[in-house]
Structure 1
């Protein structure tokens, strides 16, 4: 069985040699609708931090929580942050992306560039947990025609999330997860390995979700039980534990 930590640690030293990761992160952030002032951002599977740094440059944000399962990736991101984030607004964490290490309803924006294919549909329902009502999500999906992972990464690809063939299929992935106001933009990356990538945007209009992932569901139920006044103070219905959208 492939160890994802080790696989991505091995990739880390040369990860930035593929400029498409930074290009996609920049384009993803550039396509966002305006956020509320002093927003909080979660960057899931941050890699070497391209999306986190792009958010810092382009958005009016107070805090970015950037998580990745790979210590090697986070080490390289921290090195880059000495110049790219001198005030330390980005919090780097070595952690699994699902469930994300943030409380329910605590983020204004969730970013995930070049990584959802390894996280699967449980990540989408977890992002609904993390987002405040009206919060935004932005993620990338490589087109099915161009998605050709090799070696360990082929085995690590999420079986429950086939890559979309077109913008309509990409939008459906977000819509079926529970996001609203879904929009998709297509980006073509030239080079030695040209590819077509969909930039997917949506909003969490209601502070609720229907997750088929037991770990995510249990985390939300626990957080709601610990919240003063339960869910009544926010009008959030209890998670019913029914099968989700996978």
Structure 2
């Protein structure tokens, strides 16, 4: 699977929708989290955006060496204090102990990770910790070719904000809310659901 995302890495930052979604998810989180996990970090959009919250530690995890290499290359300018730790590896299970994280962020990758990721986020978050993730709408989501081959099959792509929030509630989170993030970029309309929930 990692080779697919390695091939995408060079042009990943050309898409302005990625930082828009990342900024939205980070806006759901409280200031000064102790440990913040950016799951399937890609080139680090959400990890870098989280620095405005003044976290103690941020861990960005991605299966793609190419994506993480680009994130590391940007880090001296965007994270001069070295708050973010970058790890190449699977996003499930996350490389942290149970109930140790204050926040988990996952920007537009849950459809690859599946329901097991939601269960792992319940595991790693302390009680009261926050999860913020985005997921495509079933009305607009149409993976094809190699992308369809790496889709998780244990997760239903939501068709509404309520269905998106229910993904978190069904996994054991509470106080789940969702909002629609839209933009017209590159001649096409973009839409994802952004979900916030409490462990």
- TM-score range (shorter-chain normalised) is over 0.9
Whose strand proportion is higher, 1 or 2? 2
| Structure of higher RCO (CA pairs closer than 8 Å, 6+ residues apart) | 2
Q: Given the two structures, how large is their TM-score scaled by the length of structure 1?
A: 0.78
Superposed displacement of residue 132, structure 1: 0.7
Q: CA–CA distance in 2 between the matches of 1:130 and 1:193?
A: 37
Q: CA–CA distance in 2 between the matches of 1:94 and 1:180?
A: 30
- Residues 1:40 and 2:8 are matched in the alignment: no
Equivalences for residues 87-166 of structure 1 within 5 A: 87-166=81-160
Q: Given the two structures, how large is their TM-score scaled by the length of structure 2?
A: 0.96
Q: Which residue of structure 1 aligns with residue 10 of structure 2?
A: 13
Q: CA–CA distance in 2 between the matches of 1:149 and 1:25?
A: 21
Range with greater deviation from structure 2 (147-156 or 65-74): 147-156
Q: Which residue of structure 2 aligns with residue 209 of structure 1?
A: none
Cα RMSD, aligned residues only: 1.0
Q: Which of 81, 96, 100 in structure 1 is aligned with 2:75?
A: 81
Q: Which residue of structure 2 aligns with residue 183 of structure 1?
A: 177
Superposed displacement of residue 38, structure 1: 4.9
Moved over 6 A (4+): none
**Bigger radius of gyration, 1 or 2?**
1
Q: CA–CA distance in 2 between the matches of 1:90 and 1:61?
A: 9
Q: CA–CA distance in 1 between the matches of 2:110 and 2:54?
A: 25
SS at match of 2:42: coil
Q: Which residue of structure 1 aligns with residue 19 of structure 2?
A: 22
Q: Which of 143, 161, 164 in structure 2 is aligned with 1:167?
A: 161
Structure 1 gaps, min length 5: 205-246
Q: Which of 187, 190, 195 in structure 1 is aligned with 2:190?
A: 195
Say whether the 8 Å CA contact 1:142–1:195 is kept in structure 2.
no
Say whether the 8 Å CA contact 2:94–2:120 is kept in structure 1.
yes
SS at match of 2:56: strand
Structure 2 gaps, min length 5: none
Q: CA–CA distance in 1 between the matches of 2:135 and 2:22?
A: 12
Say whether the 8 Å CA contact 2:33–2:103 is kept in structure 1.
no
